[in-house]
Structure 1
Amino acid sequence: MVLSRFWLVIFISSIVFVIFSLFSGNSYTIDHVLNGKKDDPILISEKYMDQIPVFIKDSINKSEDKTFIINRDTVNADTTYVYKNKTVKIFSGVQKSDGLLPTCKTTLLDLILPLMAYLAFFCGLMELLIISGVSEKLAKVLSPVFVKVFPSIPKNHPSISYMTLNFAANFLGLDSAATPFGLKAMESLQEINPEKDKASDAQIMFMCLHASGLTLIATSIIGYRAAAGASNPADVMLPCIITSFIGTIAAFLIVGVKQKINFKSASLVLGLMLLIASIVGLLMYVNHLDLIGKNYFTTNLSALILVGIIVSTLIFSFLKEKKFTEANTTVYEAFVAGANNGVKTGVTIFPYVLGMLVAISLFRNSGLFEIISDGIAFIFSNIGVSKGITDALPVALLRPFSSAGSRGFLIDSMNTFGADSMTGRLSSIFQCSAESTFYVIAVYFGSVNIKNTRYALGTMLLVDVICVITAILVASWFF
């Protein structure tokens, strides 16, 4: 219910603002909102040749393509004059994201189809883990901790192994593997959900822990920083870990209090201590490496672990081939059956993702997001927050809505202010310390047709705010 109302508010307010801008004269056309593509120039006005300044008119007449561009500086947008069909069209600035119709197309071609491919492959592997008995053994080992965090889940339930693989994939920055494992966990949790259209306590806890984005190796962030010329691309790794870890603990405490979880459980405390110890141990190891060693370690660790998971799954399936025979299948046929289920899951979540991304597209292209972003930055700057922090806020504000959009702001901030600036580093921490909340909710709850998400959205947004505040404090401390 909350998600539906929030979606309607974004959709309707964006459309109303677009119409108001058109009739108030603030916008010349709204075509870019429907048909424009990301980075396309925006048409702001159209004039006759005799209405423009003489020096611009002369420059257009001298140009072979009848175009003149004013590039005043690197911060402000270029203004382009194009003479065509007896009028001069004036463009200024570029579009922040695809319009409504291109978003529909790219959602299917650039997001859902690749996601379906990942789902097919990893759901195929999950089927092998199930039949071979690996998932059952993993669930037995981890049950003492998970039954304390998820008291409504029966002991040794298969969802425990799926959630474990999802958390591990997120922890290692394996986004392509994390989503299929997470969707499988949601499906398994849905089997024991007494109210099929309403999120269970276990599903809410899982979603909030997943969305807190606990990450050890921020591979993509390190790559972006290296491309932007950072002197030490991995220098934000520790702040990212600290920020995401605090976000995870906050999510657990907030949901735990709501669900009345026993925080004094010995197995729960032991599990938490082991997690902290593993993080500290890895940090100590990485910290003693030189720059080249850090880059080599962070580049290869995640990939090696993913390859290890794939190889070990196939080897164990081969060793337990009798179990596949008992199930009247083979290792390959089981993989194909699992992959087929992955494709079906992709088809199921497509409408949910499409609806959310179209609303976000309208929100960004309407100009409403920029007004809100600029307003928040203005308030922060007037209460004494440094400019290095306020310049990074667009990344934090857009992150819950769109990973691709916030990534664009991240790259732009590093190009504008420098990868080693406070803004560049803080933007990197914002980007890697949380998930795209609305996308995650659309995908995960949509995959099991849950309509009532209860307090999941509010909790996830609160955790996002905690991560933003933590990121600012940690970045200020480190840099």
Structure 2
Amino acid sequence: MVLNYIWIAFFLIAFVVALIRTLLYAFRDTFGLESIMTEADRDVFTTIVKSTFDMGETSVTIAIGLIGAMTLWLGIMKIGEKGGAIDVMSKGIKPLFTRIFPEIPKSHPAHGAMVMNFAANMLGLDNAATPMGLKAMDELQKENPVKDTASNAQIMFLVLNTSGLTLIPVSILALRASNHSANPAEVFIPILLATYFSTMVGLLTVAIWQKINLFDKVILSYLLGMAAIVSGIIWFFSTLSQDQVETYSSVLGNGILFSIIAAFILLAVLRKVNIYESFIEGAVDGFQTSVKIIPYLVAMLVAIGVFRASGTLDYIFLGFKWFFGLFFEDLRWVDTLPVAFMKPLSGSGARAAFVEVAENFGGMDVFRAKIAATLQGSTETTFYVIAVYFGSVGIKKTRYAAGLGLLADLAGIIAAIIISYIFYVH
């Protein structure tokens, strides 16, 4: 229901804002607004309608782009499943999963798919994470007693995805490097801290909501172990030069992923599995899933496009700047809020906002651009994940998933801003 209200609000608010802009332009002489009203205000409805076609096309483009990734990775997953590799991988995390996903049987294939999804997210490999996440959601749906309503397990999985724990933010480091940053890896540790904080808030809030015992010794040991791993990664990368950080990030992320593929194939060979036929079987499922999510992508991305094209976002940011100006002298972080606002809505939109901040304020190495980079890596795209993951299995009633997902996003955003001032202001 929450997603329904949000979707309606995007359209109605966009309509009201556009109508006001059009009327003000029409009566600009009467109100003395000649100097501030432009042709953009006159043509706002044209811009909005154009955005519906553009975002509809973008939605299908994204889905088509997913077809290749989905067919590949679900084919690989099928090899891992038949070769026993998924079972091996899931054993290490199974004690935790049986406690935070109590309604999912211990030997359920969803565990392996979730492990693969989280591993790809942690390595910053978005293209690999989505197919595995969709596979996990499909497996969780098999245990869902009410097929059109999100189960507790699906909500926990989705919120952990939207919090976006990333140990190696490969795409952000690459984007900074390609835009002539003198120190692309400088944002590595701040991003790691921000996304870790976001994930912890997501996990803890869902666990409290679902009455999961957080003081269980197994859960506590895993949480402490995760904290130790994050601390170890921070220590290791802090000992490297900036060039080494970038190299290690890229090599480790992609190297580990391809090693997993090779291990899947090797285990399947040892178990005398017909690898090619297994791959094709999984790939067919991937293709069908990619087509199924198109209506959900169109619905969400068109609504976001309309909201942005109406100019509503610009007015929201002007309001933020005025409001926070009443309390703070340093408002540089406010200039990066377009990234924070777009991140839960659209990954490509947030990326564009990040690059725009860098271009407007002097490049990738200025303070605002560093905050924007940290914000970009702090969380995932909540509404995109909800639309794709729930849409792929026909979930219409999302319950409290959007609310807790956005809460985890907010935690990551606040952490990213605070951490940026600690790390980047000397």
TM-score by length of 2: 0.93
Mapped partners of 1:249, 1:308: distance in 2? 28
- The residue aligned with 2:34 is none
CA contact (8 A) 2:85 2:263 kept: no
CA contact (8 A) 2:195 2:412 kept: yes
Mapped partners of 1:134, 1:151: distance in 2? 23
Q: Does the residue aligned with 1:312 lie in a helix, a strand or coil?
A: helix
CA contact (8 A) 1:228 1:414 kept: no
Q: Does the residue aligned with 1:392 lie in a helix, a strand or coil?
A: helix
Q: Please tell me the root mean square deviation across aligned C-alpha atoms, in Å.
A: 1.4
The AA in structure 2 aligned to 1:380 is F
Out of 225, 232, 237, which is 2:183 matched to? 232
Q: Which has the higher helix share?
A: 2
Give per-residue Cα distances to partners, 1:327-381, cap 9 Å, x unaligned. xxx2111111110100110111110011100011111111111111221122112
Q: Any unmatched runs of 5+ in structure 2?
A: 26-36
Out of 361, 367, 376, which is 2:305 matched to? 361
Out of 394, 408, 416, which is 1:449 matched to? 394
Out of 26, 51, 56, which is 1:104 matched to? 56
Identity, % of aligned pairs? 37
- The residue aligned with 1:33 is 48
1:430 aligns with 2:338: no
* Aligned-pair CA distance for 1:407: 1.0
The AA in structure 1 aligned to 2:420 is A
CA contact (8 A) 2:47 2:310 kept: no
Larger of the two Rg values belongs to structure: 1
- The residue aligned with 2:20 is 20
* Aligned-pair CA distance for 1:132: 1.5
Mapped partners of 1:404, 1:222: distance in 2? 16
Structure number with higher relative contact order (C-alpha < 8 Å, ≥ 6 residues apart): 2
Out of 407, 432, 435, which is 2:351 matched to? 407
* Aligned-pair CA distance for 1:385: 5.0
CA distance 1:309–1:447, shift in 2 (3 Å): same
The AA in structure 1 aligned to 2:135 is K
Mapped partners of 2:233, 2:103: distance in 1? 33
Mapped partners of 2:421, 2:221: distance in 1? 32
- The residue aligned with 2:30 is none
- The residue aligned with 2:323 is 379
TM-score by length of 1: 0.83
Give per-residue Cα distances to partners, 1:450-469, cap 9 Å, x unaligned. 11110010111111111111
Give per-residue Cα distances to partners, 1:271-300, cap 9 Å, x unaligned. 222222222222222211122212211222
- The residue aligned with 1:397 is 341
Q: Any unmatched runs of 5+ in structure 1?
A: 36-98, 325-329
* Aligned-pair CA distance for 1:307: 1.3
CA distance 1:182–1:385, shift in 2 (3 Å): farther
Mapped partners of 1:275, 1:268: distance in 2? 11
- The residue aligned with 2:103 is 152
Give per-residue Cα distances to partners, 1:45-65, cap 9 Å, x unaligned. xxxxxxxxxxxxxxxxxxxxx
CA contact (8 A) 1:381 1:390 kept: no
1:189 aligns with 2:144: no
Q: Does the residue aligned with 1:391 lie in a helix, a strand or coil?
A: helix
- The residue aligned with 1:254 is 205
CA contact (8 A) 1:146 1:160 kept: yes
CA distance 1:459–1:385, shift in 2 (3 Å): farther
CA contact (8 A) 2:182 2:365 kept: yes
* Aligned-pair CA distance for 1:405: 1.3
- The residue aligned with 1:348 is 292
CA distance 1:346–1:385, shift in 2 (3 Å): farther
Mapped partners of 1:268, 1:279: distance in 2? 17
Mapped partners of 1:453, 1:137: distance in 2? 32
- The residue aligned with 1:6 is 6
